[in-house]
Amino acid sequence: MIQKIIYRIKALRLFSLPLSFSGIVMGGLLANSFGNFSWALFILAIITASALHLICNLANDVGDYQSGNDTAESVGHETMLISGKLSVRDLKLMIGFFTVIAALCGLALIYLAFGTIFEWRALLMIFVGVLSLLAAIFYTIGKKPYGYRAFGDLAVFLFFGLTAVAGTFFLLTKTLPAIILLPSISMGFFVTGVVNLNNIRDIENDRKYRKTIPIFIGEKNAKHYHALLVGLPFILMLYFNLIQQKPLTSYLYLILFPFTLYHILQVYNHKGLALNRAIGCLILITNFFVISVV
């Protein structure tokens, strides 16, 4: 029993959770800088985003396993399905559990934010939440999973970037000025960079089962694309801070730029499993970027 619980915890890939926190934290910090913040709303947003992220992890494992994309020869992490330690039914039950958590916390979040779930702003956020849930589940599950047709980058950009930052800001402030798109897009680029780097690492294995951006444009161009994804956020946030006339402390994120350049060089100089370290490095850069940018 205890061993099964350990396997279930491993299947969640909890080490990836900080990436899902990043957009929520950025949205919360931005809202606070605009004079609006609520710990209750912020914590509910973190729990909801975490549940959606874990659903995505589990659904991705189920979809890849059922399609044959994940095998013992895959260069990524060994899943509990490949090792036989958990069954597809086990993971589907876990998906159901976290779907309930996401739905309950999401509804509570929206109700606390607007005082009702029956006015247009609340209904809009419920619609966005349902789309996020469906996107998490059907990334690789189903007859025509969109993650196998090079739409994974777009989905991650929209839901873990734009929606996470702008949605959190909107829930906390009840407003959404156009300027908030700049940090939202910045976060979208960073999280998309993590997905792209995973796809570059797995490019040879993925050729047999699905289409990804690196497969469509080639590994070399995918690395150029990656350099843009992790470089543009610095330009966007520089513009954001200049427009907002932020104090010098808001420019601390620029300290991360040399580390980002080093990261880009590592990506150009490595491939396959050797990129795992670069993936971890990018997640750290993203998290530090968030807390130093506002």
> What is the C-alpha radius of gyration for the chain, rounded to an integer number of angstroms?
19
Q: List the chain domain ranges.
A: 15-293
Task: Tell me how far apart the alpha carbons of residues 186 and 183 are, in angstroms, rounded to a whole number.
Answer: 5
Task: Tell me how far apart the alpha carbons of residues 180 and 237 are, in angstroms, rounded to a whole number.
Answer: 10
Element (DSSP H or E) covering residue 269: helix 257-269
Q: How confident is the model at residue 74 (pLDDT cuts 50, 70, 90)?
A: low
Task: Tell me how far apart the alpha carbons of residues 146 and 279 are, in angstroms, rounded to a whole number.
Answer: 23
Q: What is the pLDDT of residues 213-256, one digit of tens each?
A: 999 999 999 999 999 999 999 999 999 999 988 888 788 899 99
Task: Tell me how far apart the alpha carbons of residues 215 and 182 are, in angstroms, rounded to a whole number.
Answer: 29
- The mean pLDDT value for 274-284 works out to 91
**pTM higher than the cut 0.95:** no
Amino acid making up residue 293: V
Q: What is the pLDDT of residues 155-170, one digit of tens each?
A: 999 999 999 999 999 9
Q: How confident is the model at residue 61 (pLDDT cuts 50, 70, 90)?
A: confident
Task: Tell me how far apart the alpha carbons of residues 168 and 173 are, in angstroms, rounded to a whole number.
Answer: 9
Percentages helix, strand, coil for the chain, rounded to the nearest 5?
80, 0, 20
